Each structure stands twice: as structure tokens, then as C-alpha cells.
């Protein structure tokens, strides 16, 4: 290694080992220091660390290292969200065991993370596929069962006929399985559910206190929970039955021109005709999410039954409609096509009336619709006794009248459903229950946990290997001792990630976690992850924490005090149209010149696409290993923090990373100039140094990493220009400390060269001298005849007389006065001098 170059290939590994040997980042629960729990969402072990992980973990790492420097005991753990489909897919495609595949991936990714030098407490590492972990999860599941929060119910599921599995709603994309692309069917199955709806009100109310969460995430959760106030009332049907419907817009009741029920509704199911049965079968195809049904073509079937309008007495036709969901409200609606878009499309298709009952003003009562429903506010029109009322008043009026008629009542309805956690999959936590012919469904005894997955499984036949396994499911009933069978469903992997942060905080052998130990760390002070988890993971984790608190197992309700969702790393794409199919190329395969790009292999042009999230499928990726090998961990870390605000996307650029690499070397040279014996004071530089220390601290605490980086650049420039002095040496040392959370290897190496004591990773954040934070010079404005004539830079706190004398001594001021008699001088200390002639 030459003396004036920093060589990461030797330094990075050396310091990583030094930190490991000194166990610098192992968190001590018994420490008396204030505690900080910094957590990034743990990764799925897909095989390679993605550049998005690098950005995410670098942010958390800077915060964790910084907090440690500020004297906190920091818990910054890492583990693996290791169950899930890709391992089974690999097993099917490559004939490997999901467990072996997962373990190999974990080993690779851990080595990658180590090369980036993250300050992680590896002593707490675990994977959710460790039997210890999922055994404790089984115990917690039984606790929730005891508390009445777990139940089984036959329910309709999205069934992927190719993967032979139930899909969560979000795994159904445009009516097709997210992985197989197969048309999703609906099936009824006995499923395990967690009663998240018991906590709907509390989960919603709790959002109000999460001030350090992004507003958009809170709003997404609020919408997902979906509390709506409305009216449930019954229509009298022509067949003599009653049909309850739910509406959030009772004010529009005079605009109802038909009634619609879900395909699974008893009214639909009881129809005795082939046409009806065919239509119901048709509705079973396609996705089940509200969002999908909104997009899909509206289809209906006229049942021939009519419903009597409670105020007009009109007979409204009753349809089966594909956009009505069975499990929301009552599974039946009064349809108001003028003011609901789905109803509008339906009425247009089937030639049903579209009356207007809401308008911008009473005069607009006859205004036609402009091709779509008007869902907004206004005044009520064409509605008998409601005419002229505001929407909210009309809602109250209708609820009052319906209640008086005894036909229904005001009601609150939630969009949030109970959480179906059953998966017909091998690679997950076995659900700890046993089915006995005599005793029914019996919980597995706690002392039989963990119920481990069998190793010898076959993935060549589709379906659930646990169901097919020759012996695994056969057990004795814990109650009667007779022959019984294990539950072969495994838990949704979102369960695994709903409590992992508690296990990081405390890891006893004999139970999932220790309550008091958990209390020392929780809640997580700063949680960092992708916006894609804004709803499900975060809501499930909030629910589990509440459910465990309800069982008396933890004292906290909200697991994550502060949440940050980072932006993505992006890059342009390169591709060619290969006879209708786009073939993509990696940035490494392409030569980029000015506006154009060519393929290195054949020198011919390739198309430059938009700058989008790096993804394997578009090949617009850079591999963390490659760039770390090329530039070292610190340049990569610095790049991740530099150019964009952390919540925004970060476009990867070769020029950008090269700039970071040059800055690493520039700092290296600067650190080499540190001279402990230099003398003399440079007040301006000292002031800049201390102001920067304070500002960088504020920036890091606010996760404004790019701002911190900009300030460090600025201070570095100032030091480079300054003459040798004690202040300059102090400034160099300060920069070394400021960059150490961001470029820990470079900083550690320079620290040791300077003869710094111990490891810099253990050092304290530099102290700020408050006296140096305030500028002790001020700029005084000097006015004459209402105009600014001169500005004076003077020491702060000069007396009125001194300021007056200085102002009058100014040449510019004298020119302006031009010999006139000075009648009065008004002085505002530290601000202004006004001369009156």
C-alpha cells in the first residue's frame, strides 16, 4: 500500500475483524446507558444482497454508530425472514432442499453484509426457519388461541390451481396468481384466522400517536382499516323476505334504482335456475379484491325479485352483481348509479335509470351526468323531504326516519378483515394443532413444541408436501390418546415478521422472550424499511404487539416509535427489441457515450430506457460485491448517503461513485496532514468546525444524511484552504469523527495512524463549544435619507457611541451626507445606524 492512498482492500477487512474481536456492537441489556434500538426490516434470504438493502442498512448503520458515539447503548441486530415460497420454488426447480437452499443463501448474504462493515450485533442473529424461533412462535400462537384470538372458519380463498395454494389478496394480480400467472379460482376451505378485527378501533386510534411515522403510511393504514359510518336497513322483497343492505350514503336513498347482492349471498344461492348457477360460477373466476372488482367489467344477473323502496314504495329490480363483495357490510347494496361509479357502469350496461339526487345547487337538479357518477358533496335534489339539505344533514335525517320505521339502524362498518394465516405450504411454521375424530381440533401440548418440519420431503408433485408425507402428520391425540392427525397448514410468513423484533431484544431458551428484558429495549426507536410494507407488515406487527400485550406478555402496544421509509436505488435500462420481446442488458455490458449507448459485445446501439428501480428482471442492477471490490465499502456507503434525500430515489451513477471514491482519498490526504503540535488559533475555522459538528448531529438525528454529507464537504474544503494552526488540527480530528459513522473503515485507519486511543468505533462524538456556535461578528446597516449607504462588519455588542462613530467614519456615508449638518443619529445595537441630516 502506498502511503498516500487509502487501500480498502486491506483496511476494510482488518477493521471489521477488529470490531468483531472487541465485540464492539454487542448490545448489553444491563447497561445503565440510555438505550437505542435501531432496526432495519430484516431481509428475505434470496441469495444476494440487493443494492436497495445496502442503502437501507447504511442509513440504519449511520444512526446506530452515531447513537453509540452519543453514549447510548445501541441494539442494532440482524436476522433472516427465512420462510416462504421462493425456497420451495427452488426446491421444485433445482431439486434442492428448501432448508439447505436457505442456509446457503444466508451464509452468502451474511458475508456480503460483513464486507460493508455494518455495526451489527451478530450475536443475536437468527433465522425464522430455526426450529427454536418457530417453536416459540407456535407457543405464542397457542397463547393467542387461549386468549380467544385464534379461530377456524370455512372461508372463501383465492386458489392458485398451478401452485396449488391459497393466495393472499395481494398475491392476486389482475385475477391471476402473482407467481404462476394462472387464473385464480375461488374455493372454500377451513382456514385459521387471527382476530385482528378485535383491535380495529385501537389500531386506528393508535395511528394518531405515531407522530414520527410518515403521514402517507398512517393514511394507508387508516384506509386499510377503513372505518365507515353508515346505515344498515332492510328492503322488503317481493318473495316476502327481508334483504339487509349497508350504505355509507343514506342521503342518496332516493337515487336508488336497483338493488344488488353478491354471488354468494343467500338470495343468489337460493335461485333455482341454471342461468343463475352459471352466472354465479362465472363470478367465481377472477380476483376477489375490492380494487380488482372496481376495475373489472361489471356483470349482473336479474333475479326477477324486486325490493320495495322504503320511502317511494317503488319496486326496484334485484340483481346478482360481480362487484358486490360477500364479506363486506351485508353482501348486498342499494345501488345509486348517479353517485357511485360502480353502480353507474352497471346501470349504463343494463339500461337502468340513473337519477340525480345530489347537485352543486338546487338549480342544477336537472343537469345530466357527464359520463360518470358524481361521488362528491352538494345539496340533495329530487328527493322529496330531503330536497335542499346538505349531505351530512340528509344522512342524519334518513337514519332517524329508518330507525323510526324499525327498518334498520346507523352502523359502523370496518373494511379490515380477520387475518387468514393458513398456508398450504411446506416451508413455514407448522400450525400447532391436532385433528382428532373424537375430540375435534385440539391444541398441541406446549411441551411437544417445537413441532418441527420433516426433512425428507418431495417437491416433485405439486401441492403441500406435509399432507403427502408418509408419517409426519400421524400422531396420538393429546386428549384421548387415539389416532389423530396434525394440522398440515403452515403459518403465513407475515406472522414470523410480526414479533421478530421482540426476539432480537431478548432470547431466552425456554420462552419466546422475557418481558422485563424486552421492556429495556422496546419500542424500537427507529425502524427503517421499504414503503411496500406500509400496510401489511406494519399493521400485523402492531396487531401482534397489542395481542401479546393483551395476553400480558409485553408491556408495549406500539412496536415502532419512529418509522422511516427510504427511497429506492434506480438506474436507466438498456434493451433491444428481439422480435417483439425486450432483451435487457446490464450496465456493465453497455458502453454509454453522450446521448447514446452501445453493446460492448457487438458495438451496435441499444435502447436507453427510463430510470427505474433496480431489478433483476430489467437487469439495470449493480452488484454490491462488484462495487465494493472496486471502490471499497466506505465509498459505497458514502454514495448511498450523498446525493438524494433519503426518502427519495437515488439514481446510481458511475460518476457519482467515482466522486465518492475521490473524496475518500481526499479525506485520507487531509487526515495525513494532522499535526498534533501545530499552534495558533484560526477563529473562523474553529467556529465553522463547531457549527458543523452541531449541524451534522442534528441532520443525522433527523435522518437528513445528504445534508450532513454536504456540510462535511464544506468543512473539508474550508480546512484544505486554511493555514496550519491548532484550530486546523482540531478541525481535521473533528471531520474524522463526523465521517466515522459513514466511512468507518477509513476513519478507523486514519485514527490509528494519528495515534488515537482504542477503536474509533468506541469513541465519543466531538463536544461542541456553545460559545463558538454563535457568530461574534455582526453586520450593521448604515442608512441615510432612508437608503442603505454602507454595511459594517463589527464585533458584536459595540456601544451606541462606538457604532455612531464607526458609521460616521465611513467614506460612503460621508459622501452621502455631503457636508450637511447631522441632526440626529438613531442606533439599534448590533443591527443598524440611521443618520438624519
Binding region for Zn ion (CB under 5 A): 436, 438-439, 477, 479-480
Q: Which does 49 bind (CB under 5 to 8 A by kind): ligand ANZ, Zn ion, none?
A: none
451-481 b/e (C-beta count within 10 Å ≥ 16 → b): bebeeebebeeeebbbeebeebbebebbeee
Give dist(CA 322, CA 298) in Å, integer: 6
Give me the least distance between CB of 330 and ligand ANZ, in Å please: 7
CB 264 within 8 A of CB 281: no
CB-wise, 339 or 469, nearer to ligand ANZ? 339
By the rule CB under 6 A, 248 interacts with ligand ANZ = yes
- Work out whether strand 650-651 and strand 422-423 pair parallel, antiparallel, or are unpaired: unpaired
Residue 364 grid coordinates:
342544477
Give dist(CA 182, CA 433) in Å, integer: 31
Q: Which does 228 bind (CB under 5 to 8 A by kind): ligand ANZ, Zn ion, none?
A: ligand ANZ
Give dist(CA 310, CA 237) in Å, integer: 11
CB 36 within 8 A of CB 73: yes
Among 29, 46, 180, 228, binds ligand ANZ (CB under 6 A): 228
Give dist(CA 661, CA 560) in Å, integer: 35
CB-wise, 109 or 245, nearer to ligand ANZ? 245
Give me the least distance between CB of 436 and Zn ion, in Å please: 3
How would DSSP label each residue in 131-198? Answer: HHHHHHHHHHHHHHHHTT-EEEEEEEEEEETTTTEEE-GGGEETTEETTT-PBPEEEEEEEEEE-GGG
By the rule CB under 6 A, 232 interacts with ligand ANZ = no
CB-wise, 248 or 382, nearer to ligand ANZ? 248
CB 245 within 8 A of CB 234: yes
CB-wise, 477 or 547, nearer to Zn ion? 477
Give me the least distance between CB of 265 and ligand ANZ, in Å please: 9
Question: Which residues 6+ apart lie within 8 Å of 73 measured at CB?
Answer: 27, 28, 31, 33, 34, 35, 36
Give me the least distance between CB of 174 and ligand ANZ, in Å please: 19
CB 391 within 8 A of CB 250: no
Among 112, 171, 221, 252, binds ligand ANZ (CB under 6 A): 252
CB-wise, 178 or 311, nearer to ligand ANZ? 311
Which stretch of DSSP H or E encloses residue 563?
strand 563-565
Give dist(CA 308, CA 312) in Å, integer: 8
Stretch 274-313: interaction string toward ligand ANZ, x if CB under 6 A: ----------------------------------------
Q: Which does 329 bind (CB under 5 to 8 A by kind): ligand ANZ, Zn ion, none?
A: ligand ANZ
Give me the least distance between CB of 45 and ligand ANZ, in Å please: 38
Give dist(CA 503, CA 513) in Å, integer: 6
CB-wise, 448 or 814, nearer to Zn ion? 448
By the rule CB under 6 A, 62 interacts with ligand ANZ = no
CB-wise, 327 or 801, nearer to ligand ANZ? 327
CB-wise, 416 or 561, nearer to ligand ANZ? 416
Give dist(CA 778, CA 678) in Å, integer: 30
Q: Sign (positive/negative) of CA torsion 423, 426, 432, 438?
A: positive
Give me the least distance between CB of 200 and Zn ion, in Å please: 35
Among 339, 571, 687, 745, binds ligand ANZ (CB under 6 A): 339
* Nearest partner of 167 among 149, 185, 142, judged by Cα: 185
Give me the least distance between CB of 484 and Zn ion, in Å please: 6
Applying the rule CB under 6 A, the residues between 317 and 336 that interact with ligand ANZ are 323-325, 328-329, 331, 333-334, 336
CB-wise, 477 or 491, nearer to Zn ion? 477
Number of neighbours of residue 821 by Cβ within 10 angstroms: 7
Q: What single DSSP character describes residue 573?
A: E
Give me the least distance between CB of 444 and Zn ion, in Å please: 12
Please tell me whether residue 45 adopts helix, strand or coil conformation.
coil
Q: Which does 334 bind (CB under 5 to 8 A by kind): ligand ANZ, Zn ion, none?
A: ligand ANZ
Number of neighbours of residue 804 by Cβ within 10 angstroms: 18
CB-wise, 324 or 622, nearer to ligand ANZ? 324
Q: Which stretch binds ligand ANZ (CB under 6 A): 4-12, 241-249, 438-446, 564-572?
A: 241-249
Q: Which does 439 bind (CB under 5 to 8 A by kind): Zn ion, ligand ANZ, none?
A: Zn ion
CB-wise, 440 or 605, nearer to Zn ion? 440
CB-wise, 480 or 676, nearer to Zn ion? 480
Q: Helix and strand tally (H, E) in the chain?
A: 25, 35
By the rule CB under 6 A, 149 interacts with ligand ANZ = no
Give me the least distance between CB of 486 and Zn ion, in Å please: 13
How many angstroms from the chain centroid is the CA of residue 436? 42
Q: Which does 169 bind (CB under 5 to 8 A by kind): ligand ANZ, Zn ion, none?
A: none
Give me the least distance between CB of 219 and ligand ANZ, in Å please: 15
Q: Which residues sit at the interface with ligand ANZ, rule CB under 6 A?
A: 228, 246-249, 252, 323-325, 328-329, 331, 333-334, 336, 339-340
Amino acid at each position: 500500500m502506498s502511503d498516500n492512498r487509502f487501500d480498502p482492500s486491506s483496511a476494510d477487512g482488518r477493521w471489521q475483524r477488529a470490531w468483531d474481536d472487541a465485540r464492539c456492537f454487542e448490545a448489553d441489556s444491563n447497561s445503565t446507558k440510555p438505550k437505542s434500538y435501531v432496526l432495519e426490516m430484516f431481509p428475505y434470504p434470496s441469495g444476494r444482497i440487493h443494492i436497495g438493502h445496502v442503502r437501507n442498512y447504511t442509513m440504519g448503520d449511520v444512526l446506530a454508530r452515531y447513537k453509540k458515539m452519543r453514549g447510548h447503548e445501541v441494539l442494532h441486530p440482524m436476522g433472516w425472514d427465512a420462510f416462504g415460497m421462493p425456497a420451495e420454488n427452488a426446491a421444485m426447480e433445482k431439486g434442492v432442499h428448501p432448508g439447505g437452499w436457505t442456509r446457503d443463501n444466508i451464509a452468502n448474504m451474511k458475508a456480503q453484509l460483513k464486507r460493508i462493515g455494518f455495526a451489527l450485533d451478530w450475536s443475536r442473529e437468527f433465522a425464522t426457519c430455526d426450529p427454536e424461533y418457530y417453536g416459540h412462535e407456535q407457543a405464542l400462537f397457542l397463547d393467542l388461541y387461549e386468549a380467544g384470538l385464534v379461530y377456524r372458519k370455512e372461508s372463501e380463498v383465492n386458489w392458485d390451481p398451478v401452485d396449488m395454494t391459497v393466495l393472499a389478496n395481494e398475491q392476486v394480480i389482475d385475477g391471476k396468481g402473482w407467481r404462476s400467472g394462472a387464473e385464480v379460482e375461488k374455493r372454500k376451505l377451513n382456514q385459521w384466522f387471527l382476530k385482528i378485527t378485535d383491535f380495529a378501533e385501537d389500531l386506528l386510534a393508535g395511528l394518531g400517536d405515531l407522530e414520527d411515522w410518515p403521514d402517507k403510511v398512517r393514511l394507508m393504514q387508516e384506509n386499510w382499516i377503513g372505518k365507515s359510518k353508515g346505515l344498515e336497513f332492510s328492503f322488503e322483497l317481493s318473495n316476502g323476505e327481508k334483504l339487509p343492505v349497508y350504505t355509507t350514503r343514506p342521503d342518496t336513498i332516493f337515487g336508488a334504482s336497483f338493488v344488488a347482492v353478491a354471488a354468494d349471498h343467500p338470495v343468489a344461492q337460493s335461485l333455482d335456475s341454471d342461468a343463475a348457477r352459471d352466472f354465479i360460477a362465472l363470478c367465481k373466476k377472477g380476483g376477489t379484491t375490492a380494487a380488482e372488482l372496481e376495475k373489472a367489467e361489471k356483470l349482473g344477473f336479474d333475479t326477477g325479485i324486486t325490493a320495495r323502496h322504503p320511502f317511494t314504495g317503488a319496486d326496484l329490480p334485484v340483481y346478482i352483481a360481480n362487484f358486490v363483495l360477500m364479506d363486506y357490510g351485508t353482501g348486498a347494496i342499494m345501488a345509486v348509479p348517479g353517485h357511485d361509479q360502480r353502480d353507474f357502469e352497471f346501470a349504463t350496461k343494463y339500461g337502468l335509470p340513473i337519477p340525480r339526487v345530489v347537485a352543486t345547487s338546487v338549480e342544477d337538479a336537472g343537469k345530466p351526468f357527464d359520463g360518470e357518477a358524481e361521488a362528491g358533496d352538494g345539496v340533495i335534489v329530487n328527493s322529496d323531504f330531503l330536497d335542499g339539505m346538505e349531505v351530512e344533514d340528509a344522512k342524519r335525517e334518513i337514519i332517524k326516519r329508518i330507525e323510526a320505521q324499525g327498518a334498520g339502524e346507523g352502523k359502523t362498518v370496518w373494511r379490515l378483515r380477520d387475518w387468514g394465516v393458513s398456508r398450504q405450504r411446506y416451508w413455514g411454521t407448522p400450525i400447532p394443532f391436532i385433528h382428532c375424530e373424537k375430540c375435534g381440533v385440539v391444541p398441541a401440548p406446549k411441551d411437544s413444541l417445537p413441532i418441527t418440519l420433516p426433512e425428507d420431503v418431495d417437491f416433485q408433485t405439486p401441492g403441500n408436501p406435509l399432507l403427502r408425507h408418509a408419517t409426519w402428520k400421524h400422531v396420538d391425540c393429546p386428549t384421548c390418546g387415539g389416532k389423530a392427525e396434525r394440522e398440515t397448514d403452515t403459518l403465513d410468513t407475515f406472522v414470523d415478521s410480526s414479533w421478530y423484533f421482540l426476539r432480537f431484544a431478548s432470547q431466552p431458551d425456554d420462552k419466546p422472550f422475557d418481558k422485563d428484558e424486552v421492556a429495556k429495549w422496546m419500542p424500537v426507536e427507529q425502524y427503517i424499511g421499504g414503503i411496500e410494507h406500509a400496510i401489511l407488515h406494519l399493521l400485523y406487527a402492531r396487531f401482534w404487539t397489542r395481542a401479546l400485550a393483551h395476553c400480558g406478555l409485553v408491556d408495549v402496544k406500539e412496536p415502532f416509535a419512529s418509522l422511516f421509509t427510504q427511497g429506492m436505488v434506480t438506474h436507466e435500462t438498456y434493451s433491444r427489441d428481439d422480435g417483439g420481446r425486450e432483451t435487457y442488458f446490464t450496465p456493465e455490458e453497455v458502453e454509454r457515450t453522450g446521448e447514446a449507448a452501445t453493446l460492448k459485445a457487438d458495438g451496435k446501439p441499444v435502447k436507453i430506457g427510463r430510470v427505474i428501480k433496480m431489478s433483476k428482471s430489467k437487469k439495470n442492477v449493480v452488484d454490491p460485491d462488484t462495487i465494493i471490490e472496486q471502490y471499497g465499502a466506505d465509498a459505497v456507503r458514502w454514495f448511498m448517503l450523498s446525493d438524494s434525500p433519503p426518502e427519495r430515489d437515488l439514481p446510481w451513477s458511475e460518476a457519482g461513485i467515482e466522486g465518492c471514491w475521490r473524496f475518500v482519498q481526499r479525506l485520507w490526504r487531509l487526515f495525513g496532514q494532522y499535526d498534533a503540535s501545530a499552534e495558533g488559533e484560526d477563529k473562523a475555522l474553529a467556529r465553522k468546525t463547531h457549527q458543523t459538528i452541531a449541524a451534522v448531529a442534528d441532520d443525522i438525528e433527523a435522518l437528513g444524511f445528504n445534508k450532513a454529507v454536504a456540510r462535511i464537504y464544506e468543512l473539508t474544503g474550508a480546512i484544505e484552504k486554511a493555514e496550519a494552526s491548532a484550530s486546523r488540527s482540531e478541525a481535521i480530528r473533528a471531520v474524522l469523527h463526523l465521517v466515522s459513522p459513514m466511512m468507518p473503515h477509513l476513519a478507523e485507519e486514519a485514527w490509528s495512524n494519528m495515534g488515537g486511543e482504542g477503536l474509533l468505533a468506541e469513541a465519543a462524538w466531538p463536544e461542541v463549544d456553545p460559545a463558538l456556535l454563535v457568530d461574534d461578528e455582526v453586520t450593521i446597516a448604515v442608512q441615510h435619507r432612508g437608503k442603505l449607504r454602507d454595511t459594517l462588519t463589527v464585533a458584536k455588542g459595540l456601544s451606541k457611541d462606538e457604532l455612531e462613530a464607526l458609521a460616521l467614519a465611513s467614506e460612503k456615508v460621508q459622501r452621502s451626507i455631503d457636508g450637511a449638518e447631522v441632526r440626529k443619529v438613531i442606533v439599534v445595537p448590533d443591527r443598524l445606524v440611521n443618520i438624519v441630516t
